[in-house]
Amino acid sequence: MSFPEGKKAARQRLIVAELGLSPAVRTSDLARRLGVSAETVRRDIEELTQRGLVSRTYGGAAGRQLGLQPVFQDRNTLAVEEREAIAQAAAGLVKPGDVIMIDSGSTTSHFAHVLAEMAERVTVITNCFAVANALVAQSGVRVLFCPGDFSSHERGVYGSETCAFLQRFNADIAFIGASGLNLEGPNDVETQACWVKRTMIERAERKVLLLDGSKFNRRHLELVCPMASLTDIVTDRVPDAALVDRIAAAGVSLHLASEGKPVSIEA
């Protein structure tokens, strides 16, 4: 997904990225956030609609197809406070001496930055450049970076070599992200990312999903794994009753980041 350079490009990237996190957005809300007129936003939405990237609706725009996702750099600028709280709560699950796997994503990169501040004798295995960059200079962290084919869209490496490399190691905890979570389990837009997530889950004793509440009940291209394959979910708010019941029935522990402090709801 590419845009011409300039202020319009930045606005349009944000509109597409917002629709990656919410099923619909209102023109008035976008105008307020972007600091422009509603008419300017309507023109942006019309242009994006003509490109097939969004669908214009009465009063705003609706998002995206099951197989599309904003690029890493755009996702990384959204829901920053929520992801910071999730990262703080997730870092509390890591103990000195742990071996952890971290997949490529905007939420997991936030987690890596928090982990860098408190990790002690931790070994990190990752396919994500942002995760490696956050941790590689820390004296208390050993970083093992996966081989594979680089994806500029996801800022990570993927493919058969990546999964084969991960199969060589055992981990105490795997931390993965996802595009959405519904009653079946976590799902994602990127097939190549799904294979990496599954491999990390397979090689770890504890399998932790990190995602913010805007992704609840979102359905995307591919199921990563059944809900019961996870052991923990770390998020910023309580899901609806049906999803909470499904999480509990699968024996998954739900950890809530509340005002920066982890509060756990055990299944």
Evaluate if residue 76 carries a pLDDT over 50.
no
Reported as a pLDDT band with limits 50, 70 and 90, residue 66 is: very low
pLDDT tens-digit series, residues 85-138? 899 999 999 999 999 999 998 899 999 999 998 888 999 999 999 999 999 888
pLDDT at site 73: 53
Q: Round to whole Å and give the CA distance between 218 and 247.
A: 15
Alpha helices, H only, 117-264: 129-135, 160-166, 191-203, 241-249
Whether 207 and 229 have beta carbons less than 8 Å apart is answered as: yes
CATH no. for 7-64: 1.10.10.10
Domains of the chain by residue range: 7-64, 74-265
Evaluate if residue 149 carries a pLDDT over 50.
yes
Rounded to a whole number, what is the largest CA-CA distance in the chain?
Answer: 55
Closest residue by Cα to residue 89 from 238, 265, 267, 264:
264
| pTM for this entry | 0.74
- Report the interhelical angle of 27-34 vs 38-50 (nearest 10°): 110
pLDDT tens-digit series, residues 173-210? 999 999 899 999 999 988 999 999 999 999 999 999 99
| Span 52-73, average pLDDT | 64
**Residue 54 CB: number of other CB atoms within 10 A?**
27
Q: Which of 1.10.760.10, 3.90.45.10, 3.40.50.720, 3.40.50.1360 would CATH assign to domain 74-265?
A: 3.40.50.1360
Evaluate if residue 64 carries a pLDDT over 60.
no
pLDDT at site 222: 93
pLDDT at site 52: 63
Min mean pLDDT across 46-60, 63-77, 86-100, 242-256 is at 63-77
- Give the bridge partners for 112, in sequence order: none
Q: Round to whole Å and give the CA distance between 107 and 85.
A: 10
Residue type, 180: G
pLDDT tens-digit series, residues 20-57? 666 678 888 888 888 899 999 899 888 888 776 777 78
